[in-house]
Amino acid sequence: FPYTTLFRSGAELEATIAVDAAVELFANIGWLKTEVDSIETFDLDLNQFVTKNDREQAKSPEYQYNLGVRIAFSDEWSSRIEVEGQDESFFGYYHDGELEGYDLLNANLSWQRGNIAVNLWGRNLTDQDYAVHALYFGADPRDDFGAWSNQTYSQLGEPRTYGIDVSYDF
C-alpha cells in the first residue's frame, strides 16, 4: 500500500501481584496508537481509487488486555478466572468496516495429586459472537439486489468452548 506516513507507538504492561500464598492477581495490558496520514486504495463501493486520510492502521486495536486471578484452594485444587478483550479496529483499507471490540470470560478448575492432573476449562463462557477477521466484496449472485453487491463476510472467533484435560506424568 502506498502510505505517505505511518505513525506507530505503543506500550505494554505486565504485572503479577501475590495477594497472599493462595491468591495471585495478574494483568497484561497493551496500548497501540497508529495513524496513517494518507493511503490510496481501491474503494469497492465507489469502484475507483480513493485517498483515505488520517485513519488508524488496519487490524490494530488501540488496546488489548487480559486480567484475572489465580486461586490455590489447597495443595491439590486451584482455579483461574480471567477476562480478555480488545478494542475495535478497521479490518481493511478498501472499506470503512470495523471489527467490533470484545470481552471474553475464561476459567478453569484444576486438581493434581502425585503424577495425575485433571483440568476442567472453559473459554468464552458467555458465548459472545465476535469477529476476528472480515472481508468485504461481492461474491453471492443470490443476494437481495439481483446483482453481486458488496457484503461483509466475517470469520467469528471461538464460541463457548469447554473441555477436560487429564494427564499422567511417568
What is the largest distance, in Å, between two alpha-carbon atoms of the chain?
66
- Residues with Cβ within 8 Å of 66's Cβ and at least 6 positions away in sequence, in order, are 26, 27, 28, 29, 82, 83, 84
Reported as a pLDDT band with limits 50, 70 and 90, residue 47 is confident
Chain segment 120-167, per-residue pLDDT in tens: 999 999 999 999 999 888 777 666 665 677 888 899 999 999 999 999
Region 32-51: what's the mean pLDDT? 89
Map grid coordinates 467469528 to a residue: 156
Chain segment 70-126, per-residue pLDDT in tens: 999 999 999 999 999 999 999 888 888 899 999 999 999 999 999 999 999 999 999
This prediction's pTM: 0.84
